Amino acid sequence: MPIPESASIRPLRLAENHFLEVLLSRFDLRRQGKGAHLEVSFDAETPACWNLAGRDELRKHLFKSLEKIETYQKALDDVLVNEGREEFIFDDPEFVFRWASAGALPIVRLGGEEYFCLFYREIEPIGWNIANGACDSSAELLNPLSALEREVCEEFIILDPKAGEWFALERGDPGSVDRPEFSAVRLIVQDLKAKGLWDRRFDVKQVETPMKWFNGPDAATIYAKDAFNRMERYSVAGCYLNINARDFGIELDRVIKINASEDAIVFDGEFKNGKLLNRVVGLFRTDKFNPGGDQVEFIPDRCFYGGEELDGQAFKRRMRDSFRRDLELAAVRPKWRIDEWDKSSAKFDLCPVTRRLIQRFARSIPKQQPASGPFDVFVSFGHQDMTLARQVADFISNRCGKKVFFYPKTQTNCDFEPAIDKALESAQCIVAVGSRIENLTARWPSYEYQTFHGDMRNGRKPNGQLLSFVLGIDPVDLPLPLRKYVVTTCSNESDIPGALEELLRYLTGDHSVKP
């Protein structure tokens, strides 16, 4: 049963396009440490899919081998999910997997609650999906994580209509013509203004977005021939491998956490045929969500549809009463796809990729006792500066009797500690501690002081203090927003005691305090 000949399936050298997936009939998957390692190889003559029509043709072709699909999926899950098998060597000229898609599972914090943020997909696989998509260039095929970052920036739009703010995941020129998210924001804001949901006094303002990427335990090695027919080796690490035989796809995923304002609204920014898809965005409480078991219907705790917020019951009514009509009016899907959705018996299931990713991510979260709060001062640092940060935390606690949040555990790639957000909410002061710029711009500290600064800016912490204590760093080199506020500096370790006394005076608001 050879791969079908089609205008939608070409050699890679002829297929490069804004939708690009190499078709692999061989790869090696092995357990490695706490995760798995995948090896793939291709060249300019390897078949490649370059549009959705090609994917649909392949689906029809491969679904003639349902027994084979189930066999392959069990072997893949035994390596990636169940961890009961050390390796799986796939080698089948009559079956292919698509390399590569990439996606991000957003966790968004709104109003003190954390939610998995999923996009509703009305085409196969129907149901709730993460922000994902195919590579669109040969460069992305060699580093799918770059496609991942592009996809989440394009699809995941967070706006605060009351403040006129856009929580952009990547800052840029609002007039940009090559960044689809800017076009999406302009269209969304026009629609909100027409509905009276956007304060017309405000133009869109990009604001600092507290965000943090969580690395996964998996890695991949890609072997590809260059223009001179030389085999080159490329490596990708810190991801979750997601290989799905039913959708014959290989996907590399990561998790991103974003802290937004209480009045934020989440939108889908994906385009189709020059129009916004305007997919439903569902928010599922992370502390209640269970993707395991036999459940095939997942109703969001909150959802956004075209700027309108719906609860679970309103969501079900909307999907039952008018969603099909909305699809027809939008004219972004052919009628046969809408009919396919209409006939689905599990419209609100999780797509397989999303289910497996959430299961693996939840399993990686350490079970720890939350620190007892509330706290007065939050000490923020990169783990390389733990010794210096401990010295600062102990000094503040001992000298002024304030309750200090100091998280001494070295952060791992899969660590996820909700106590940090609780402590940030209660503290009225944050002290960012660092001896090198790269330590202060690491994932956790940048998320922490940006979150705190956002609360100061939007009025949640009107009396908040953002202080910095740095060793051997010129204050002008500090990232925003740190250099906008008080910075206590010391040139070398012998200056630390005097600098701590200076920090104490700013912390207590008493500049008459003497050592």
Predicted confidence at residue 356, as pLDDT, reads 92
> What mean pLDDT comes out for the span 322-341?
86
d(CA 481, CA 474): 15
Name the phi and psi angles at 110, rounded to 5.
Answer: -130, 125
d(CA 157, CA 266): 6
Distance CA 105, CA 469 (A): 34
Query: Whole-number mean pLDDT of the chain?
Result: 87
Please give the distance of CA 391 from its chain centroid, rounded to a whole number.
Answer: 34
The crossing angle, in degrees rounded to 10, of helices 323-330 and 335-343 is 170
Residue pair 419/371 in contact (Cβ under 8 Å)? The answer is yes
Closest CA to 22 of 44, 52, 53: 44
Between the alpha carbon of residue 54 and those of residues 47, 350, 399, the distances in Å are 11, 24, 68
CA neighbor of 467 nearest in space, from 502, 511, 417: 502
Closest by CA to 330, choosing from 274, 289, 376, is 274
Please check whether residue 365 is in contact with residue 404, taking contact to mean a CB–CB distance below 8 angstroms.
no
Which pair of structure tokens corresponds to residue 177?
A: 């013509």
Compute φ and ψ for 169, nearest 5 degrees: -80, -20
Strand duo 377-381 + 429-434: pairing:
parallel
Look at residue 4 in the predicted model and tell me its pLDDT.
65
E strand intervals along 8-74: 9-11, 21-24, 26-32, 35-42, 47-49
When mean pLDDT is compared across 164-173, 405-414, 465-474, 505-514, the lowest value belongs to 405-414
334-374 confidence digits (pLDDT tens):
888 889 898 999 999 999 999 999 999 988 765 555 556 78
Antiparallel, parallel or unpaired: β 275-276 and 9-11: unpaired
CB 97 within 8 Å of CB 249: yes
Q: Cβ–Cβ contacts within 10 Å for residue 130, how many?
A: 29
Domain ranges for the chain: 103-242+250-364, 377-508
Look at residue 369 in the predicted model and tell me its pLDDT.
52
Q: Are 158 and 258 in contact (CB under 8 A)?
A: yes
- Give pLDDT, residue 396: 94
User: What is the structure's pLDDT at 178?
Assistant: 65
Q: Write the pLDDT tens digit of every residue in 57-66.
A: 888 888 888 8
**Crossing angle between the packed helical segments 386-400 and 496-508, to the nearest 10 degrees:** 50
Burial zone of 1 (CB within 10 Å; 0-12 exposed, 13-18 middle, 19+ buried): exposed
SS (H, E, C) 183-197: HHHHHHHHHHHHCCC
If you average pLDDT over residues 501-505, what whole number do you get?
92
| Six token digits for residue 36 | 């798995």
8 A C-beta contact, residue 75 and residue 17: no
Per-residue tokens: 404: 């200090």
**Predicted local confidence at residue 123, as pLDDT:** 87
Integer Cα distance of 180 and 276 in angstroms: 10
Task: Name the more confident of 11 and 409.
Answer: 11
pLDDT tens column, 36-58: 999 999 998 999 888 778 888 88
Lowest mean pLDDT among 16-30, 44-58, 501-515: 501-515
Residue carrying the six token digits 């309108």: 308
- Write out pLDDT tens, residues 267-306: 999 887 777 888 899 999 998 898 887 889 999 999 999 8
Q: Mean pLDDT lowest for which of 50-64, 76-90, 249-263?
A: 50-64
Q: Taking the CA of residue 194 as centre, how many other CA atoms within 13 Å lie in the half-sphere pointing to its CB?
A: 8
**Does the structure show a pLDDT above 60 at 15?**
no
Among 449, 369, 452, smallest CA distance to 409 is for 369
377-508: in CATH 3.40.50.10140:
yes
Residues 443-499 have pLDDT tens digits of 889 999 999 998 898 888 999 999 999 999 999 999 888 998 999 999 999 999 999
* Residue 1 confidence (pLDDT): 52
- Residue range 102-120: average pLDDT? 92
Gyration radius (Cα) of the chain, Å: 25
Length of the chain counted residue by residue: 515
pLDDT over 90 at 229, yes or no: no
Instruction: Give the 3-state secondary structure of residue 313.
Output: helix
pLDDT of residue 131: 92
